[in-house]
A and B are shown apart, each in its own frame.
Chain A
Amino acid sequence: DGGITQSPKYLFRKEGQNVTLSCEQNLNHDAMYWYRQDPGQGLRLIYYSQIVNDFQKGDIAEGYSVSREKKESFPLTVTSAQKNPTAFYLCASSEPGQGSYEQYFGPGTRLTVT
């Protein structure tokens, strides 16, 4: 069953702690993305990666870091430098070059920092 998995579904952390969100895909897609969603707002791009061992900052990268050591995995670390980390985080993947450009989304992780 192909798709994107994100774990955990809910995550709670204390302020000042780093936390890593998992994203795994078995779609064999080259490109992967991390988005942040706040209540009543659309999605904002944090980081994206078009290929293994390469990634670029999106629109709101400050306070976040990523790695792309394997094609199927793109973990996101929310650092203590992120001023307002409580949000819903969505991971996505796509296969650029197939002509349709849609992205496939995981179920999301809701992070609460207190």
Chain B
Amino acid sequence: AQSVTQLDSHVSVSEGTPVLLRCNYSSSYSPSLFWYVQHPNKGLQLLLKYTSAATLVKGINGFEAEFKKSETSFHLTKPSAHMSDAAEYFCVVSDIREAAGNKLTFGGGTRVLVKP
């Protein structure tokens, strides 16, 4: 079975300061990991993905995440927050077994507030 824990339900940062969103996962198989962003009343947009290639993954809008197998973590960072980064962020793990139908397991989400 797979699971995802996002360690912070809310994160508040000032514009221009770094953002860190923490995610730990559990998976019985080699996982694929994703970060998605959701703005209010919108669908989810893929920020970045890890699929067993480079452990440091760069995504859109200046975000990046590092896969650390020994720590079972996949934390999301951005060096300098922008007001437009205010949204909810989901860490997601995928069970890649065909029989599982490529099901995704979502973390509970981290809501980011950016203060001017």
Contacts and interface: CB of A to CB of B under 8 A. Distances in A.
Q: Do A and B bind each other?
A: yes
Interface of A: 4, 6, 31, 33, 40-45, 48, 50, 56, 58, 88, 90, 92, 94, 96, 99-108, 110
18 contacts: A40-B109, A41-B109, A43-B44, A44-B106, A45-B104, A48-B101, A50-B102, A94-B102, A96-B98, A100-B51, A101-B32, A102-B34, A102-B46, A102-B49, A104-B46, A105-B36, A108-B43, A110-B41
B90 A42 contact: yes
Contact of B96 (A48, A101, A108): A101
A22 to B, nearest CB: 14
Interface residues of B, number: 24
Question: What are the 9 tightest A-B residue pairs by CB atom distance, in nearest-first order?
Answer: A42-B106, A105-B43, A105-B44, A107-B43, A101-B94, A96-B102, A43-B106, A101-B32, A42-B108
A100 B94 CA distance: 10
Contacts of B107: 42
A13 B103 CA distance: 30
A16 B11 CA distance: 40
Interface in B40-62: 41-46, 49, 51
